[in-house]
């Protein structure tokens, strides 16, 4: 048996993060240590003493208190547990794979003494809060998954395909570029063929310094895609000549993740090449750290962030919150891998690696694909890492107001936010130049019509909207209020209500989005027609997965500047950005249609299409270097 204890100070956690992240705070930049974070949110000593005393008085001995202080564990017969919690336990059968069933123990209700109720988060085995699950077991052969190949996530809770990278697609070439005599040769065709030179020109990004420190290593997350060195070298040769061939990241394998892979390996697609190519092109000789997550079998489970967070923070492996302790069977990978045909046979990695100061992630599911309590627990961990000075950049997605698995509601018309809508990461949308434009022109929100590149591709729009799970955070309230006051989209909406695991009034009264939800994206960057090498062939790609590593690289350069001045990392940057929108290029053209609607429009100020806009490096450098 386990009793999860209520965490302390969760209600004030956002305030702690704001204290070290808001530019007006006297504690800006005074990030916490991991031990300080764990101590702050550990259950109160009195709670532990009171619950243990109750157990001892009931004849329960040998109570173990977890290292992270979050739960109590003990062994007792089922009959004693039924008497202790005034309940009856039953066996529940869940189909865990195609050949065998797994038995879980649960009850319909349980009771704890009234004077202890405020100390106890949950009891397990206990009430089964989530619907029956089926573990999605995929063939270990990995193939490229496009949106039209993905399964549809219905409202009946049936299993959907695991979600992977926000995968850009190759785009065929069709037009001759116009000539612009005012621009150098390498910036002539940035509307149709985007290179690192184009990115640097668009945002005023300087050449990276030669004298750098490993303390500012840029972290890249990869999960179902692995890089190939030959493709990476060809990218350097063609578009980043200052990066020597053979340059590769420092591999931090998480639970059997493997990289690099051979050119013909089906695990090698384009995501890793994009992320690493952009990062090296903009920050070399800065060290890049590659977090390659999950083995070839478990990589196809749905909940691929938890094993990564486990590896960064050992306490997260057993962290208890909202009725969830540790990884969730049915969503998260299992280690040692139980698959008889292979996989990583070591123990789950817990606290194996120290997080880099900046981490870029270009993968994501729909917010609605996971229970509310599962997602809130994960978001808490991202807040805790933010307190320690870690900056997360996450691609918003490429499906407009929908998510990778489509839309919500009976008629599939309700907008489906893309995770992470967690307010403690920086969510990055995508922009574009059109074919006859140059780096001197203003960008638009990324939108690609069906057939724009000769057919064969679904419409693509930068993802944005409002969370169903998370309320508008303090730092964003003014921007969102201004958006609704000055540019109300005129779409029907609802105000979300919840139970423990889900929103209870999705699409109420014909509403399409949650009016009081956290808005996303926060910022954006170019995500169209970026050139890479794929299987040794030049290929153009598009998607917000291009945009996230641009921002991550840019902030890494700013961290380098601060390091040389004896300052710490910028950490969680959203409060600074929302307080200083002048440091970005506002995007006012474009929209993100989906779910049978026109979606939202890009407008002056923050909007749920391009956020606050694209980076202006000179202004951002000035801003962050002016802070302590």
Q: What is the mean pLDDT of residues 188-217?
A: 97
Say what the pLDDT of residue 147 is: 27
Same structural domain for residues 159 and 17? no
Same structural domain for residues 120 and 154? no
pLDDT tens by residue, 128-155: 543 333 222 222 222 222 222 222 222 2
User: Residue 541 — pLDDT band, cuts 50, 70, 90?
Assistant: very high
Say what the pLDDT of residue 516 is: 98
Percent of the chain with pLDDT over 70: 88
Percent of the chain with pLDDT over 90: 68
Same structural domain for residues 190 and 251? yes
Is 189 considered catalytic here?
no
Same structural domain for residues 84 and 153? no
Say what the pLDDT of residue 10 is: 76
**Domain of residue 40, residue span:** 2-124
Q: Which residues are annotated as a binding site for Ca(2+)?
A: 586-587, 605, 607
Same structural domain for residues 151 and 249? yes
Considering 124, 159, 180, which residue would you say is the last residue of a domain?
124
The position carrying tokens 């638009």 is 444
Same structural domain for residues 222 and 359? yes
Same structural domain for residues 438 and 525? yes
Residue 173 has pLDDT above 70, yes or no: no
Residue 443 inside a domain? The answer is yes
Our measurement of the distance from residue 359's CA atom to the centroid of its chain's CA atoms, rounded to an integer in Å, reads 10
Is 270 considered catalytic here?
no
Same structural domain for residues 281 and 401? yes
Say what the pLDDT of residue 167 is: 46
Residue 409 has pLDDT above 90, yes or no: yes
The active-site residue, picked from 545, 547, 553, 597, is: 545
Our measurement of the distance from residue 255's CA atom to the centroid of its chain's CA atoms, rounded to an integer in Å, reads 19
3-state secondary structure of 392: strand
What is the distance between the alpha carbons of residues 620 and 624, in angstroms, rounded to a whole number? 6
Same structural domain for residues 111 and 157? no
What is the distance between the alpha carbons of residues 167 and 151, in angstroms, rounded to a whole number? 15
Compute the residue count for the chain. Answer: 628
Q: What is the mean pLDDT of residues 119-133?
A: 63
Tally of domains within the chain? 2
| CB of 424 closer than 8 Å to CB of 572 | yes
Residue 329 has pLDDT above 90, yes or no: no
Same structural domain for residues 152 and 292? yes
The active-site residue, picked from 121, 169, 233, 271, is: 271
C-alpha dist (Å) from residue 70 to 48, 505, 603, 615: 9, 32, 45, 40
The active-site residue, picked from 233, 275, 332, 369, is: 275
pLDDT tens by residue, 207-224: 999 999 999 999 999 998
Between 394 and 176, where is the model more confident? 394
Helix axes 196-203, 271-283, angle to 10 degrees: 60
What is the distance between the alpha carbons of residues 277 and 45, in angstroms, rounded to a whole number? 49
Q: Copy the structure tokens of residue 275.
A: 């992320």
3-state secondary structure of 120: strand
CATH code of the domain covering residue 314: 3.40.50.200
Pairing label, strands 320-321, 444-445: unpaired
Q: What is the mean pLDDT of residues 599-620?
A: 99
Considering 124, 157, 177, which residue would you say is the last residue of a domain?
124
Is 545 considered catalytic here?
yes
Q: Is the dihedral of CA 279, 280, 282, 285 positive or negative?
A: positive
In angstroms and rounded to an integer, the radius of gyration of the C-alpha atoms of the chain is 24
Number of helices and strands in the chain (H, E): 13, 26
DSSP state string for 503-559: BSSTTGGG--EETTEEEE-SEEEE-EEEEEEETTEEEEEESHHHHHHHHHHHHHHHH
Same structural domain for residues 106 and 178? no
Q: Which residues are annotated as a binding site?
A: 586-587, 605, 607
């Amino acid at each position: 048996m386990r009793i999860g204890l209520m965490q302390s100070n969760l209600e004030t956690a956002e305030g702690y993060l704001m204290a070290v992240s808001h530019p007006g705070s006297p504690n800006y930049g005074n990030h916490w240590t991991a031990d300080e974070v764990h101590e702050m949110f550990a259950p109160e000593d009195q709670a532990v003493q009171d619950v243990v005393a109750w157990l001892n008085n009931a004849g329960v001995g040998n109570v173990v208190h977890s290292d992270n202080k979050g739960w109590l564990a003990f062994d007792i017969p089922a009959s004693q547990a039924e008497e202790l919690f005034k309940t009856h336990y039953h066996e529940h059968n869940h189909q865990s794979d195609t050949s065998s069933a797994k038995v879980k123990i649960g009850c319909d209700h349980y009771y704890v003494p009234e004077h202890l109720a405020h100390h106890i988060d949950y009891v397990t085995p206990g009430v089964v809060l989530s619907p029956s699950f089926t573990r999605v077991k995929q063939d270990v052969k990995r193939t490229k998954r496009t949106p039209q190949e993905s399964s549809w996530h219905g409202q009946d809770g049936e299993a959907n395909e695991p979600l992977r990278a926000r995968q850009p697609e190759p785009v065929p070439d069709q037009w001759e570029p116009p000539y612009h005599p005012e621009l150098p040769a390498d910036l002539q065709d940035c509307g149709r063929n985007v290179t690192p030179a184009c990115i640097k020109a668009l945002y005023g990004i300087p050449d990276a310094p030669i004298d750098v420190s490993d303390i500012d290593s840029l972290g890249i997350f990869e999960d179902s895609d692995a890089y190939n060195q030959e493709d990476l070298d060809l990218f350097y040769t063609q578009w980043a000549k200052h990066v020597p061939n053979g340059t590769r990241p420092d591999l931090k394998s998480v639970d059997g993740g493997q990289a690099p892979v051979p050119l013909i390996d089906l695990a090698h697609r384009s995501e890793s090449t994009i992320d690493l190519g952009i990062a090296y092109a903009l920050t070399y000789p800065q060290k890049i750290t590659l977090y390659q997550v999950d083995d070839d079998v478990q990589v196809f489970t749905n909940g691929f962030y938890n094993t990564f967070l486990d590896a960064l923070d050992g306490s997260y492996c057993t962290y208890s919150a909202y009725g969830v302790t540790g990884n969730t069977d049915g969503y998260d990978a299992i280690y040692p891998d139980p698959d008889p045909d292979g996989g990583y046979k070591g123990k789950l990695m817990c606290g194996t690696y120290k997080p880099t100061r900046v981490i870029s992630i270009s993968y994501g599911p729909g917010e609605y694909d996971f229970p509310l309590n599962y997602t809130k627990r994960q978001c808490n961990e991202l807040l805790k890492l933010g307190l320690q000075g870690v900056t997360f950049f996450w691609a918003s997605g490429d499906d407009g107001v929908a998510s990778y698995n489509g839309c919500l509601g009976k008629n599939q018309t309700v907008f489906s936010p893309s995770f992470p809508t967690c307010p403690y990461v920086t969510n990055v949308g995508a922009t574009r130049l059109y074919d006859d434009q140059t780096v001197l022109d203003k960008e638009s929100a990324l939108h690609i019509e069906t057939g724009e590149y000769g057919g064969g591709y679904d419409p693509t729009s930068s993802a944005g909207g409002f969370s169903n799970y998370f309320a508008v955070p303090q730092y964003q309230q003014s921007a969102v209020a201004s958006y609704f006051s000055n540019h109300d989209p005129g779409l029907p909406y609802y105000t979300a209500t919840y139970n423990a695991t889900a929103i209870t009034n999705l699409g109420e009264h014909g509403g399409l989005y949650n009016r009081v939800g956290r808005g996303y994206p926060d910022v954006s960057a170019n995500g169209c027609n970026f050139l890479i090498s794929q299987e040794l062939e030049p290929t153009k790609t598009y998607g917000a997965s291009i945009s996230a590593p641009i921002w991550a690289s840019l902030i890494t350069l700013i961290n380098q500047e601060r390091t040389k001045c004896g300052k710490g990392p910028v950490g969680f940057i959203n409060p600074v950005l929302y307080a200083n929108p002048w440091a970005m290029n506002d995007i006012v053209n474009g929209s993100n249609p989906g779910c049978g609607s026109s979606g939202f429009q890009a407008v002056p100020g923050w909007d749920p299409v391009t956020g606050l806009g694209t980076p202006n490096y000179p202004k951002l450098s000035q801003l962050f270097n002016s802070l302590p």
